Structure 1
Amino acid sequence: MSPLPVTPLPGASTVPDLASIDPADRHMATVRSFTPRRGRVTLAQRDALNRLWARWGFDVADRRLDLGELFGDDRPVVLEVGFGMGETTAAMAEADPDTNVLAIDVHTPGQGSLLHDAERRGLTNIRVANGDAIELLRDMLPPACLAGIRIFFSDPWPKTRHHKRRLIQPSFAALAASRLVPGGILHCATDWAPYAEWMLDVLTAEPELVNTVEGYAPRPTWRPVTRFERQGLAKGHQVADLLFRRR
């Protein structure tokens, strides 16, 4: 399939420097919810990054995004935080072509894999951001602009001394809620029971969010099983979904 005719994104960067630049190094937060993961970049991933990054990718920076300009239409936008290799992201985007997906991660092979998969499937409703999701939400996205936020199987940071690194914190819950439109959904999933309890407590305490069910939600049929989820299930872990609505 030939490359889709998509114009370069406003302010898009060049392809990440695969040899020397760690995507996480450019950003300002002092406590990270993620650790950089370089991994081996395959030829297909490198090719996708080289050809498609200027069209469909951008670096997190201190500037405001216009989501309509970013995607070239006014379809609702869902932010996916931490997409791994992107296979489930692409599957959900393909299954829901009326929704645009802004996917953010710092894993270079995953970025290349998602771009490659999006092109292979002929998708035009995916954009890829490189950097810290907190900075993206805080600095680049205006209030009440997202139809949803998905956070599937983020690092649970199980050791007590590392709990401060968990993404789901009171400050993050407030920030995420502020970027959702009224009625927008914050959807989290984890296979780590103590983290599920932590998330339930934090999200319940955020006054702008309301739980869509009592406790944990049934697993939505439209959410594909992720690689991390399969690994957790193989270990006998129970998966918890949490779906909170912006008031």
Structure 2
Amino acid sequence: TKGALPGDGVLMRDPTVIYQRNLRPAIGQNVEFNVDFNSKYFNVRGAAFYQVINNFINSYGQDTSKNGGGNATAKNMSGNLPETINIYGYEVSGNVRYKNFLGTFSVARSWPTARGHLLADTYALAATTGNVFILKADYDVRRWGLTLTWLSRFVTNMYYEGYSIYYPQYGLIKIHKPGYGVHNIFINWTPPSKKWQGLRISAVFNNILNKQYVDQTSVFQASADAPASDMIPKGK
């Protein structure tokens, strides 16, 4: 359950912030099913979950009036979302171990929906993403106290009509999210000598192929006060 926060009490004195009368707390419920298998050389785990959120407290910007200079005056609105948020998801992961080598993989996806449509990105709910694949390889040179790690993360391409919950005239937005793959290297050195016990030196090289990409969990709108008229079709 999530209700009003202390900061909301301070904002109530701000004339540009409007709260819905009789604001109700958001209520969420979650069900998850897990399966695990462990052996000497490999482990596998599978999980599926379903989450439902009612009375989600939605915040958005709305142009409510025009001042003398012809500029719009934005109001920050907060109220309960009338739609129920349903989130479905799964994860499969595992690892393989052989001597000093450890290989790990995982694939995961979630589908946050409202009115049967995937959600457009929001500031308060998890963003919609494609399938996420993670591959990791570790090699341990114990004699030298050296551990080498290669981590790759792949996200699949998405093109969908997302349901926006920002504005009073809720509607669908066409969204395209290009897929991408990012590779990182991690080096950890723990001196084997007892003289340096407790010391670890690490080096991290992120995005070694210098891939330009936009994280799919980034929000779609640049600002909550952005106008809705050019983004949301009327009558939706």
**TM-score (structure 1 length as normaliser):** 0.22
Q: Which has the higher Rg, Structure 1 or Structure 2?
A: 2
- Determine which structure has greater relative contact order: mean sequence separation of CA pairs < 8 Å that are 6+ residues apart, divided by chain length: 1
Of Structure 1 and Structure 2, which has the larger fraction of its residues in strand?
Answer: 2
Of Structure 1 and Structure 2, which has the larger fraction of its residues in helix?
Answer: 1
**TM-score (structure 2 length as normaliser):** 0.22
